[in-house]
Structures are given as C-alpha cells and as structure tokens.
Chain A
Amino acid sequence: MRADAEMPFFFGPDAGLFGMYHAPSVPARRAVLMCPPLGQDLIRCHRLYRQLAQSLAEEGLAVLRFDYHGTGDSAGGSAEVDWERCVADTALAAAELRRRAGVDRVVAFGARLGGSVALAASEQARFSEVIAWDPVLDGDHYVSELDAMQAALREDASRFNQPRSHSDVAEQWLGFDIGETLRRQLSTLRVVAAGVPTLVLDSMPASATPRWERIVSQRGRVAAITPTTPWSDLERLETAILSHPLIQAVAGRLKEVA
C-alpha cells in the first residue's frame, strides 16, 4: 500500500472536521463516504472502517472517512454533538470527497447511527445510494437502550470496586457527555426512506430486528450478515467490532453496480 494513499487532513468552514482520504491507485469513477456511528460505536468500528476503506480503495473507489463535529479528532466537545450538525457535516464531507476524487457519484456507508445519518443526509449530500449497516430507525427505543446500559454501568462490578452514585453517571452515555439537545433529537428521531437505492445490512439479533421495510419498501433491499453484532453488550463495550462478512457484502454490492 502506498503510505500517501491515505491522507489525514482537516476540512470544512473552520477546518474543524477531521478526514482521512483513501485515494485509489487508478482514477476513480465512483466514491464512497463512510459515515461513522456516534459514541463508543465510533471507537469500536474504527478498525473495521479503515479495513473497509482500504478494501474499497483497492477496488478503485475513492473513499473518505471523517468525524462529525464533537466526535473523534474533529473540533468540539462530546457534549456539543448535534444531530442536525452531523447531517450538515455529512453533506460537507460529501462535497469534499467529490472535490478530491473528481467524481460526482457518491455512495454513503454507515453503521448504526452512521447509517441513520447517511439516510437522513441522502438528499442534502446527493448520495447515489445508501448502504446502512444495522441503522437506528427509531430513536426513542435507542435512547431507552442507552439509558438502560448507562444505569447498568453504574453498578458494573467488573468495572468499579463500588457502585457509583447516580450523579456520577448522569448526563452521559457509555463514556460520553450527552447534551440535552442530542438527547431530545435522538428521542424523536424516526428515520424514513431515502429517495435513492438503499441496502440494509442486517446483523441485529432476531429479537431486536427493526422493521426495515419502512426504509427499503420502494427502492431497496435487506441482506443478512452473520454472525449477529454485539452492539449493545455492556461486557463488550470496549471490544472492537470486526466483520469480514460486512466488508465482503459492501464490496460485493459496489461491484454489482459498477
């Protein structure tokens, strides 16, 4: 691999957004924007996102990974993460990718809330297609799940010698400060179908599988990925999420429509 094929940089109006551009070895005809999930999922997926980006760049696609404001290496504190700004940052990142790659056709990929952001930003960012891996469709259920995990964390004996106070764990989700705005935005989040072809990659446990038909009924389909992904397992909170089947599925889909 050429070292300079992966270039880290900052972009956006205040140069506050971090990006990692994966240049293909041949002139690109298409590009892929990788929308990260939020919170601990972003850290857990970092390795997998890099592997997928490298795999797609080897196939001749230009790829951009980036961090939203308040996440990863981008400017801003964790409490400043804002759903609307994530969507706007995604549109900025898509424009940056088009400029760097010299192509107009951009496919979006995202895991969990990254998939939800990709779907929500599809029109603004002019995506030609969205590939969403276990996207969050109903924010209220997701918020309840995070609240329950945060409550369990308070008395997690494998982490703390003594249970922590309620105030110690308040206004946070699994390691990150949560602003009231984001909580409210996610609580009312209801992701709808994008107006472009959509592939949902489903690795949720059978008991938790959302009703994907809401977002794929017209221009999309669902493909199962095995094994299931332990997104919501407190015991694996700091374990990286890796999935060779996911990489194969995304690369396979992009070959189909080449």
Chain B
Amino acid sequence: MREEAHRFGRARHLVGIAGVPEGARGQTGVIVLNAGLVHRIGPFRLHVELTRQLNAAGYPTLRFDLSTLGDSGASGGQQTRTQQVCADLDDAMNLLAERAGCDRFVLVGLCSGAQNAHVVAATDPRVSGAVFLDGYAFRTLGYKLRHYLPRLVDPGRWARRLMRRTGGAAAAAPKVPQAVFAVAPAPREEVIADFTGMVERGMKLYLVYSGGISNYFNHSRQFRECFGKVMSHPAVTTRYAAETDHTYILTGDRARLLDGIGGWLSQNFPPANAGRHA
C-alpha cells in the first residue's frame, strides 16, 4: 500500500497524508488530529506509526494538519477556532470519503488534538468513535487526596521544607518544566453532557490518560470521579497508563498504545463490517 499526499479543503489550504489499504472501500476511516503544534507526523512520529499500523489492519486513515498548523495554511474565512476545526474535519472526512468510500469515522487526538476531536465528535453524526489521549480531566477530591496525603506524611518532604525556610542548602527553587502541551478547561457539566450524548448516539469511546498529566490526573478511578456514570457505559473504554509520559517518548510505551488502539478498533469497528456501524 502506498500513502497519498493531498492538498485539500474548502480553500485548498490543508495538507494531509491518506493511507488507503487495498479493498478497504467503505470501511470506517480513522482521522488523526495534530497534537499541540507538532505537525501531522505526531510527537516522535506517533501518528505515522499509528496510521500505518491501522492501514495494515485494513483501516483507511488520514493524518493531516489543521488550519495554520504544520503545512496547512489559513482558510481565509472569518471563523472562530472551533468553527475552523469543525470545518477542517468536515474537509478531512470528505477527502477520506472520496478516497476510500468511508461514511463513518473514528477521530484520534492527543491533548489539544483530543480537545478538538471532542468538539467535532460531540456535533458531527458521521463520527462513530473517538480515541481521546490525555483529553479533558479535572482535579477531583480523589485526585487531591492521592496527591497530597502521601506528601503530608513524608518526613523527608517536611525536612526539605524546613531547610528551605531556614535558608539551608536546599533553598534553590526547583526547576519548573516548560509547558508544551495543554488542554484548555471546559465546564465539567458540559463535558459530561457531551460524553453522554456521544454514547447515546451509539458512539464508542476510548480514553487513554498517561502519567504525564499527573498535575491533574493520577488514577484510573479518576475517569469515573471526573465524568460520573457515563464512564461505566459499555461503549466507553478507559485506560490509565501511569508509567508513560504525555507524548509517549519511549518506543515500548508507544507500541503498547498503538496495540491498545488497534485492539479497541478491531473490537468495536471490525474491518469486515466497519462501514455498517449501528
């Protein structure tokens, strides 16, 4: 199978790479959105590896750059960013429909990509599944207990704090890593309503959160703490990968993520009848 390079979209402003396996016509198409500002190949080439693995499993794919990211330009219209994202995904779905006959789509996004995928998944009936990697989350009471309690009972931590107060050797301020990726918050009730609407519509969801967002998410139980009973719906699958970082820098972590997504897809959108998802 060969990949195809496309310039497409309502203003021919978008750039993407489509992968269309032999005989894949009518299958569910998988569209991968930008993670932060990284161009369509994804952090450490994550999106290239993901789309090629899914192509090998029979799924048509498109990894592309949203307006003004990567190699894509601006559409020139007077739209909000959310409107642009929805219009870009409309263009992307039209392209994959044209190239592979897809009429149902699964969106995959990491961080801001998850946020953008969420917006489109909540509103576009062609989206039948979504993979949210480090998407929306909220610091819950459970998070705070898990985060702060161990620190309260750690004598070493108290000793270091005392040293700092008395101007001891440990007075140097700890380095704060630069924030590269971030998900802008949305009202929790709104996010829960979106998830509920998605599963009621028949969508399948896969939420994978990493240890790289431990500043606001730190346990598998937090899915339910954040979003309530919708997380127990059979259409929702969750996974907390505590050991990994936010962008899957280690190739073993990346392979496990890709296998997880591939397994979830084959279970929920088997290639043989993926185009006839209920």
- Residue positions of A touching B, CB distance < 8 A: 1, 3-4, 6-10, 15, 18, 20, 40, 43, 46-47, 50, 71-73, 75, 77-78, 153, 158-162, 164, 168-169, 172, 174-177, 235-236, 238-240
- Contacts of B215-252 to chain A: CB distance below 8 A: 242-247, 249-252
Segment of B4-12, B201-209, B258-266 in the binding face: B4-12
Contact of B43 among A10, A238, A239 (CB under 8 A): A238
What total of A-B pairs shows CB separation below 8 Å? 104
Contacts of B4 in A (CB 8 A): 10
Given contacts A4-B12, A8-B71, A73-B17, contact A238 B3 (CB under 8 A): no
Known: A8-B17, A18-B5, A20-B71. 16 other contacts (CB 8 A): A6-B15, A8-B6, A43-B41, A47-B39, A50-B71, A71-B45, A72-B41, A73-B40, A73-B48, A161-B211, A161-B242, A161-B243, A164-B250, A168-B250, A175-B45, A176-B251
Number of B residues with CB within 8 Å of any CB on chain A: 43
Contacts of A7 in B (CB 8 A): 7
Would you call B44 and A3 a contact (CB within 8 A)?
no
Would you call A236 and B41 a contact (CB within 8 A)?
no
Contacts of B175 in A (CB 8 A): 158, 235
Would you call A46 and B243 a contact (CB within 8 A)?
no
Closest 10 pairs (CB-CB, A-B): A175-B44, A158-B177, A8-B5, A3-B12, A159-B245, A161-B211, A175-B249, A238-B180, A46-B39, A177-B251
Would you call A40 and B44 a contact (CB within 8 A)?
yes
Contact of A169 among B3, B12, B38, B250 (CB under 8 A): B250
Tell me, in angstroms, the Cα distance from A172 to B180 when the chains sit together: 22
Would you call B5 and A9 a contact (CB within 8 A)?
yes
- Minimum Cβ distance to chain B for residue A241 (Å): 12
Would you call B243 and A160 a contact (CB within 8 A)?
yes
- Minimum Cβ distance to chain B for residue A223 (Å): 28
- Residue positions of B touching A, CB distance < 8 A: 2-7, 11-13, 15, 17, 37-41, 43-45, 48-49, 70-71, 73, 175, 177-178, 180-181, 211-212, 214, 242-247, 249-253
Would you call B44 and A176 a contact (CB within 8 A)?
yes
Which DSSP category, helix, strand, loop or mixed, fits chain B's interface? loop
Contact of B37 among A75, A153, A162, A240 (CB under 8 A): A240
Tell me, in angstroms, the Cα distance from A169 to B250 when the chains sit together: 6
Interface centre among A73, A176, A239 (most CB of B within 10 A): A73
Contacts of A71 in B (CB 8 A): 45
Tell me, in angstroms, the Cα distance from A87 to B39 when the chains sit together: 24
- Minimum Cβ distance to chain A for residue B31 (Å): 16
Tell me, in angstroms, the Cα distance from A239 to B181 when the chains sit together: 10
Would you call B71 and A6 a contact (CB within 8 A)?
yes
Would you call B7 and A176 a contact (CB within 8 A)?
no
Would you call A47 and B17 a contact (CB within 8 A)?
no
- Minimum Cβ distance to chain A for residue B179 (Å): 10
A-B contact pairs, 20 of them (CB 8 A): A3-B7, A4-B12, A6-B7, A7-B7, A8-B6, A8-B7, A20-B15, A47-B37, A50-B71, A72-B41, A72-B48, A73-B3, A160-B244, A161-B242, A164-B250, A169-B250, A174-B44, A175-B43, A175-B44, A238-B180
